[in-house]
Structure 1
Amino acid sequence: MQNVVGIIGGMGPLATVDLMSKIISYTPARRDQDHIHIIADNYTQIPDRTTAILGKGTDPTPYIVQSAQRLQNAGAEFLVIACNTAHFYFEIVKKSVSIPILHMPLETARFAQENNFRKVGLIATDGTIKTKLYQKSCEHYGINVIEPDKEMQEKVMQGIYAIKASNLDTGLLCLSRVANKMRENGVAAIIAGCTEVPLVLQSSEDIRIIDPAEVLAKMVIRIANGTDKEFQIV
């Protein structure tokens, strides 16, 4: 009997669909009934997380809590958050429900450790960089995180906004420059800490791109199927 996963989504809608798509794609299914039971709350009315973190917008915490409780009441047995920056509010959301919630940055850091990456680069939005979500998660696993300098971070944001505007060529140009700079500094893997990044940056012989949504999707499958011994749903 599979465990039901609930996705706190809408941040943004495409990130939610991307996570669902990855869960479906990586599930070893031969028929519809072999797939994971997913309940997704594509709650697009949740206020912008980065703006709030920078002290310029509405606090999204009550909205995220509402989504988590809605999913629990709908029958979800564990939850995931389909947004990197929203994990800034993780502890408050966790206390609002009685079911487990997976922490995407921590799972990504654990993946990096299991694959022997001791020094990783981080490409993410200003908001995610500011929250130190990935830096603290990686520190927990003894991994050193290299952030872009000010000039390179401006390139990151330029690239991310280009991708959001469907200008993938410009996005690739900007983010590739940052990735190459990190590789020159001895980084063997880069955490794509924004859902737009993996749309243009792919792993190569020179560097590994770690997609947190992919890591999370594979973890969801293991938990739902009861094959992850370190994560038990009581």
Structure 2
Amino acid sequence: MPSTSVVEPAAMRPVGILGGMGPEATILLMQKCLAAVASTATGPLDDADHIPLIVHQNPQVPSRIARLIEGQGPDPAPVLAQMARDLAAAGAQALAMPCNTAHHYADSLRAATALPFLDMITATADHLTQARARRIGMLASPATRLTGVFDRALAAQGLVPVWLSDDAPLLDLIRAVKAGQPLSGLAPRMTALCGLAVTRGADHLLVACTELSLLTDALPEGVPATDSLDCLTSQIVAFARPGVSSC
């Protein structure tokens, strides 16, 4: 009898997650990865269908807000670089970091290992271009604005960031999420800040802080919006499952 060959699916590639900034946002990323696989399933799922993640949940990374806004406290870069090396040693084949502000230190991560770094900022700018956005309402930490984390990526796509005239309320909201305040009570504040961004001329809202990703249910209806954490999820899915269409 002629022999038959079975084509095995491409092996999953594990992604290392630099997490803990904050812890709940890292868990949300993991949940989004689970949901992304489920959304592309054509039949019943088993454990082995899901993406292998090696998660370094390190809430002890020095405060990015203290360092970048207040100009005090230790530098997060050496801690992040060591986390990257730890993930590489654990078997990760790529790195991802669910914290927009911490992408200020992306070059330190790239220098720490030879692993590809799945850049959430660039992926987000690419998605906004595909969505035909133009003026981007930035729902982000003031540290993201002060360090220009998104500036180069947005400018390369001809996108214009629209910042609130006073981003102190955004920082207060981010801190409230980190403090564990009930999200239901914080939702009206999120909706109001979105409204201010639209008033300033934004035609597309960008959730550019993964703490605020926990409040996307409060985004106003009728205004296009993107969550950078979704863009990172898509990158992770695409890398981990070569040959399988991602979300």
C-alpha contact (below 8 Å) 1:72/1:99 kept by paired residues:
yes
C-alpha contact (below 8 Å) 2:204/2:223 kept by paired residues:
yes
Decide which of 27, 35, 38 is 1:25's aligned counterpart: 35
Decide which of 97, 101, 114 is 2:113's aligned counterpart: 97
Greater RCO (CA < 8 Å, at least 6 residues apart)? 2
Deviation larger for 28-37 or 62-71: 28-37
C-alpha contact (below 8 Å) 2:194/2:220 kept by paired residues:
no
Deviations 1:68-121 (A, max 9, x none): 011111111111012111111101210110110011111111110111112111
Paired residue secondary structure (1:133): coil
CA drift at 1:15: 1.4
Matches within 5 A, 1:47-196: 47-54=62-69, 55-150=71-166, 153-165=167-179, 166-196=181-211
CA drift at 1:138: 1.0
Tell me the residue number matched to 1:37.
52
Task: Normalising by structure 2, report the TM-score.
Answer: 0.85
Report whether the alignment pairs 1:6 with 2:16. yes
CA drift at 1:159: 2.5
Runs (4+) off by over 6 Å: none
C-alpha contact (below 8 Å) 2:20/2:58 kept by paired residues:
yes
Once the two structures are aligned, what percentage of the paired residues are identical? 29
Pairwise CA RMSD: 1.9
C-alpha contact (below 8 Å) 1:201/1:209 kept by paired residues:
no
Query: Structure 2: how far apart are the matches of 1:220 and 1:158?
Result: 30
Q: Structure 1, unaligned stretches of length 5 or more?
A: 230-234
Task: Normalising by structure 1, report the TM-score.
Answer: 0.89
Q: Structure 2, unaligned stretches of length 5 or more?
A: 1-10
